[in-house]
Amino acid sequence: MNVELRHFRALAAIGDEGTITGAAAALRISQPALSRTLSQLERGLGTQLVERTTRNLHLTEAGRRLWEHAHRILAHVDDALAEVSAGPRPLRIGFAWAALGHHTVPLLREWRRDHPDIPLQAQRLDDPEAALRCGDIDLAFLRTPTDDDEFYSLPLYQERRLVALSEDDPLATRPSLELADIADRTIAMCASAGTTSTELWSADRRPSTTIEVANVDEWLTVIATGDAVGVTAEATGHSHPHPGVRYLPIADAPPITVCLVWPPYPVHSAAATFREHARRTVET
């Protein structure tokens, strides 16, 4: 079929907004017009992209895959049009929690010094992998192995795990802890960090109580007030100091591998240069 940009914009908006009403408002078109555009795309492809019920709307598996492609295609088109008038866009780097810890500032400063003509944007995101798939960022720093075979990954270095406790916690006076020392505590888990789960403990000593928090600010708050303790990467202690939180090394926890991840298709002309820059920065 003759697929047009309006078809991609329609599917992208529907997937983003989750409703025809919201997507039509975002695109500033009528709901019937949006529904006709979607139906035209589905008929042309011969497959259902959106599953509708009386209460819900969600993308099918085929719809989800095309939604990701649509975002990337639209991002490339927007970049090309913007470059004509404003020049190349910045290189966009995403991270979920603490970037590269103490390596972050040297990395950014040296990039600005060595590549003054290529601006760089570092963005904290709840889901960098999703942003990569949609073309919203070019590369991402991750501390959890990606299960997506579509991504390439460059291991940069390993860092220790730390436990975060309230400064008033009796354990906070120790020089280090072991996982068993906090097995009977409530553990704060954050989906956007993704470096800690109860499987970190042995099967017979796993914590029985966990609480979910939405972001690093909530994570720090529940720890500072003594409602929970947290286990995190060493970079968190550098990037997120808190007057009510004490960070201690965990003697028996395995280290975390920090990786730079990117998609196999072209994103930004400076992406390969940045990968080499990141590798050199963490090695010095």
So what's the pLDDT on residue 147? 60
Mean pLDDT across 197-218: 92
What value does the mean pLDDT take over residues 253-274? 91
SS3 content of the chain, % helix, strand, coil (to 5): 45, 20, 35
Quote the tokens at residue 48.
Answer: 């259902």
Q: Contact, 232 vs 164, CB < 8 A?
A: yes
Determine the Cα–Cα distance for residues 220 and 209; give it in Å rounded to an integer. Answer: 17
What Cα–Cα distance (Å) separates residue 238 from each residue in 99, 119, 137, 196, 223? Answer: 10, 25, 24, 18, 16
Domain edges within the chain? 5-85, 88-158+257-283, 161-254
* Nearest to 158, CA basis, from 248, 254, 284: 254
Range 203-218 average pLDDT:
92
- CATH fold of 161-254, please? D-Maltodextrin-Binding Protein; domain 2 (3.40.190)
Specify the pLDDT at position 96: 86
**Mean pLDDT computed over 229-257:** 95
Band of residue 231 on the pLDDT scale cut at 50, 70, 90 = very high
Specify the pTM: 0.75
What average pLDDT does the segment 45-73 reach? 88
Please check whether residue 194 is in contact with residue 144, taking contact to mean a CB–CB distance below 8 angstroms: yes
- Parallel/antiparallel/unpaired status of strands 91-95 and 120-124: parallel
Q: Which fold, 5-85?
A: Arc Repressor Mutant, subunit A (1.10.10)
pLDDT > 90? residue 107:
yes
The pLDDT tens digits of the residues spanning 153-178 come to 999 999 999 999 999 999 999 999 99
- Rounded CA-CA distance 55/45 in Å is 25
pLDDT tens digits, one per residue of 1-58: 788 999 999 999 999 888 898 999 999 999 999 999 999 999 999 999 999 876 678 9
The secondary structure element, H or E, covering residue 227 is: none
Task: Give the pLDDT confidence score for residue 238 in this predicted structure.
Answer: 93
Task: Quickly list DSSP for 59-100.
Answer: E-HHHHHHHHHHHHHHHHHHHHHHHHHH-SPPEEEEESS-TT
What pLDDT digit, counting tens, does each position of 129-142 carry?
888 888 889 999 99
Find out whether 155 and 259 touch, Cβ atoms under 8 Å: yes
Q: How confident is the model at residue 146 (pLDDT cuts 50, 70, 90)?
A: low
Annotation: CATH topology of 88-158+257-283 = D-Maltodextrin-Binding Protein; domain 2 (3.40.190)
Question: Are 88-158+257-283 and 161-254 equal in CATH topology?
Answer: yes
Amino acid at 276: E
**Cβ atoms of 162 and 250 closer than 8 Å:** yes
Q: What is the pLDDT of residue 223?
A: 97
